[in-house]
Chains A and B, each alone.
Chain A
């Protein structure tokens, strides 16, 4: 069979001088014996063309003629059709930019992914949902995803620079629950080791006291440890809790825990996204050695007024949001407060009563968040936000006992209150299609004080009064100005740069007294006011300046690099410390496999001296000073992974860290931190190293989703002044950790969740025997013998949390959710600390007792959104 020649390949000889286009097309149809279809409305009517063609294809002739017009031809069946070519005069590459938002509320979705459908090009939105992609012109299928949202696919004819808004629909149910960002069903691996926390599912898991908590989500990540039940803060890959930069909308928050860390200050109702960066850091981050916890709050619903009320076992939470101007400006306010005050009062009164004491305790915490999001014009948006949260505690107990002629009157009083204020004014500017800037002015303050007083009056023939009183205060104030610029020349290249200036004002104070100091007469009680008058807190300041530049480039379809440098300096009283910190990361992807490695040098100018034992919680933040040099770290990490498919993914990562100039806590009672006391020179300064290995496996798509991870970790510290100069294990290290999280959709209105955490015991300093000593009255007494710091391991920590969630719609409300669960379901007595006491069965001997804090606890919460 003879093959038929395509109409545009038929060769003809043709000549035309100053002919109109329609005449030429008709002539070519006749000569070639083909049909050339055209609309006279499309073709130019006045323009004439001259052409000489000798044995040339009709397609070639048409290309020559139409070259300078906006027309082209298309083969349709057996005929050639003259059509308009809208891409013909478009630049080869065009920019598509815009925002990725929640379709229902208009909230921008930070770090959402946007890709070409064939995944050949793509990028990630910035923290405000802005993105910019440079693409070849033509018809493009754009694919956007975000954790907890349905995917969105858009077709766009790209003939000019285009601004779009991509709206993603929140997932109503567990069709595709995503535990972490690695769950995205297209590879979106980051160069840095970052876990995106599934805040959209925060209400699905069993929450202590019915209070969903983003920090407890972070506890489920590999490489993250805490003390028992969250005490001891967040410790990431062998770093201490002060080495985490805890951010709220980009502003540092110094105290992130309520009730000593049982709950976090991050109100779940207002959180939009949360990420924890665990490994080497891109250059844009600085100021802490080990990790960044980046929590972003909602901007407010741009579409309609909405709200949420939730009540749990512990707290009541109410949120209201809505547009100030629809699709342009919005507000959101949220308030949370504990509701357990009467319970605490009654239960402590009852416990005191059965122990022949009188008194009661009181405790509450609260959080207020407010935010206004104003669209100034198409290019500028102003955000004002404020957070205030605080804890208030009081406990007063008195008791009297008699033994023969001896009477003992005991008074014990503790009170503390403290909280954060965080205020932010930020201008987000879209200076061009590929240039973004944010200018921020912020204020972050943490003010804490605690007072403790114990008095014993022994009366027989004489009256002897013994007392100890202590006051601890910590005032921290940061005032900062920041400018961050993102420049996106094309989809394969992002340049970030910025500058940050902050003034730190710190005034810590700690003073203790006993009866030997004679600050009161006789039976007069020592009051907080008396001690306050004797405390003269040192005033410490530091002016810090930092700048960075960071370049992220897709070298080819396999390699992506992020290189940069972060530089900073701080001025203390008579010193200026400077630091240049190189940062580098490399990501290699091949089909479903990826490999990454990174290095960063980090430093921090802030130091936290924190006690690990019982008594008043002491968190003394101080800036670097003439005595205290900045802390520094080198972080190395490398990992491999595979997105297996069907929602399964597997990755492993190893890390090594070195710390220098880190601070410790001197052995013995805390030094008084008072004006005129040389307390800074008594702070031990040392070094440390940490290394470990993490493995993660997850299934993130389907009716059942789960994640499991294992971490092996070692973290050591060495201080000349501590432990006889010998290295010792970091207090919150756990050699082995295994974590498992599981969520199962039961039906369209119910879910079941289960978390199980296992960690080998963390080290503590425990006495091994008791030794006698003779006091200055010649009386022999006993004291514990400590031979090594952190010489003992507490028993293993493990805990199972389970929860059932039921949800649906009311006719008068958008959504409701009821969660019922058990925290520590099998009542594991996880020890938090140990103490020496007289043996309960043999009072002539002493024994060590371990104290666990949280037994099995039912949890329940109910929330409605409207």
Chain B
């Protein structure tokens, strides 16, 4: 029997190797890449500054989202600059004394005092609000579960490179006798079934509303459909729709458009990786801005 042992080793080794794991950790130098600062700010005209400062997670680092509290955040608002302080209650850097203004440049410089991470800078110009000129909203179905809303919106001045984020929402009113009591919960219209038409109207995977590039609409009326996404009781009605139109800067538009594509891909794993990009120098995230126009439309 003994002389057969060497003969058995070969097929046995093959079998063991064949079923051995075919997964190994990949490095390729990526594990040497260090974290960067990540900021997130959507400056809203007329509002105060709020800015999140975070860190990206390098591979092999903890994925618990880190909020550095020791950042030196300097905001340059043209007429001067100010250090923005950390508000622990909001996990954000806030400044109540500075109100964001339309058509004004803002830039930011963020440094971590006790860290080797690169300083980051970013800037934005707050766009002037260009709300839509006319709009009409129709119910195309009376199915209470699938209340479909058809939007038809016309903008002025669409030849310029404008970017928009339109967020329609509504409140559900309850009819009590002859009175109508308006609810307090804001319900955003759902756009999940929008065609994922990347250059015209984009529904967002991570945000409510739709975004689009005004120049691609080219002055034409735009139309899109949404779903109320709520089940109305027999004594409930939707009387009107509020349309919040954000005129955004380019960074806001590109960041959310790309991020949405990335999130959708992450859900389906059917497509190609997305380069989200960032307007933050030496870091990641968004330092964008918008100005807002709000109109209430009667549901026809």
Contact = CB atoms under 8 A, between A and B. Distances in A.
Most interface-central of A669, A672, A774, A785 (chain B CB within 10 A): A669
B23 interface: yes
B228 to A, nearest CB: 12
B207 interface: yes
Interface stretch (A80-88, A169-177, A281-289, A612-620): A612-620
Given A516-B190, A822-B14, A850-B23, A792 B28 contact: yes
A52 interface: no
Contact of A667 (B27, B31, B273): B273
Contacts of A668: 198, 258, 261-262, 264-265, 271-272, 274
Nearest to B197: A678
B284 A785 contact: yes
Nearest to B275: A786
A771 B275 contact: no
Interface in B157-205: 188, 190, 192-193, 195-199, 204
A767 interface: yes
A284 to B, nearest CB: 37
A768 B33 contact: yes
Interface stretch (B58-66, B71-79, B104-112, B127-135): B58-66
A765 interface: yes
A615 B270 CA distance: 6
Nearest to A787: B275
A768 B59 CA distance: 7
A669 B270 contact: yes
Contact of A666 (B29, B36, B195, B272): B272
A356 B276 CA distance: 38
Contact of B208 (A769, A772, A776, A780): A776
Contact of A855 (B18, B27, B63): B18
A772 B65 contact: yes
A524 interface: no
B67 to A, nearest CB: 10
A729 B57 CA distance: 27
Nearest to B62: A844
Contacts of A518: 146
Given A771-B284, A856-B17, A672 B196 contact: yes
Contacts of A842: 60
A849 B25 contact: yes
A677 B195 contact: yes
Interface string A653-691: 000000000000111111110001110011000000000
B192 to A, nearest CB: 3
Given A847-B60, A849-B24, A514 B267 contact: yes
Contact of A786 (B192, B199, B274): B274
A724 interface: yes
Given A776-B207, A793-B28, A783 B262 contact: yes
Contact of A782 (B17, B35, B63, B267): B63
A689 B64 CA distance: 44
Interface residues of B, number: 67
Contacts of A576: none
Contacts of A856: 14, 17-18
Contacts of A79: none
B30 A845 contact: no
Contacts of A723: 275
A41 interface: no
A289 to B, nearest CB: 22
A776 B272 contact: no
Contacts of A767: 30, 273
Nearest to A766: B30
Most interface-central of B18, B192, B270, B277 (chain A CB within 10 A): B270
Contacts of B273: 613, 667, 765, 767, 784, 786, 789
A119 B118 CA distance: 73
B62 A845 contact: yes
A766 B25 CA distance: 13
A394 B271 CA distance: 22
Contacts of B62: 844-845
A839 interface: yes
Task: Report, nearest first, the 6 A-B pairs whose CB atoms are least far apart.
Answer: A668-B261, A516-B192, A850-B26, A669-B271, A848-B26, A770-B57
27 contacts: A615-B269, A616-B270, A618-B270, A665-B271, A667-B271, A667-B272, A667-B275, A669-B265, A670-B268, A672-B196, A677-B195, A724-B275, A766-B26, A770-B57, A770-B59, A773-B40, A774-B206, A776-B208, A829-B22, A834-B26, A844-B64, A847-B60, A848-B25, A848-B26, A850-B25, A853-B22, A855-B17
